[in-house]
Amino acid sequence: MTTLIWIAAALVVIGVYLSWTAGRLDRLHARIDAARAALDAQLLRRASVAQELGTSGLLDPAASIVLYEAAHEARQAAEEQREVAESGLSQALRAVFDDEGQLEAVREAPGGEQTVTELTAAVRRVPMARRFHNDSVRAARAVRRHRVVRWFRLAGHAPFPMAFEMDDEPPAGFGDRSGGR
């Protein structure tokens, strides 16, 4: 009789542990979804402001074309080309705005101040959102690699989480804060 009780108790403990781990994993997946949504929002915001700048006529024609092209690419890219296209936009922004005079010129134009504020905010928040996203991916992966999770298939059908890798280095003078990166 006691043996039976012990076995039942052990099963209960195992059950609780498995259920708790599944809940933990579920929460981690929810966190990734939220972080990915936030990252998408920031990337889209950045591409929109860049595209707006490209068509505003505030920049010289060559810079306008480069910026418009890159922003358009980034917005239209298919999921598997997204990382490359967004990196391309970062490079275009650096090519255009590494010269600090350019930013000043935009700022002096009517309505330019607001555009610059939006652009700097978006450019600063992309690396932030990406860090938070990749951090959540790492946390979920660490749990998913666990033996118990693999044996009991606690992750269900959720796809294996992938980090978002891109070049998000801001142009010089944009994110100029100590250790801001």
User: Would you tell me which residues interact with other proteins (CB under 8 A)?
Assistant: 15-16, 19-20, 22-24, 26-28, 31, 33-38, 41-42, 121, 124-125, 127-129, 131-132, 134-136, 138-139, 142-143, 176-181
Using the minimum distance from each CB to other proteins, give the nearer residue, 21 or 56.
21
Q: In 3D, which of 141, 148, 146, 122 has the Cα closest to residue 53?
A: 122
| Distance of alpha carbon 115 from alpha carbon 135, whole angstroms | 30
> Helices in 57-146 by DSSP H: which ranges?
61-76, 82-97, 100-108, 112-144
Dig out the tokens for 7 from the structure: 């076995």
Q: Which is nearer to other proteins, 73 or 135 (CB)?
A: 135
Place of tokens 């932030």: 128
Least distance from other proteins to the Cβ atom of residue 102, Å: 22
Shortest Cβ distance from residue 63 to other proteins (Å)? 27
Specify the residue, 62 or 142, whose C-beta has the smaller distance to other proteins: 142
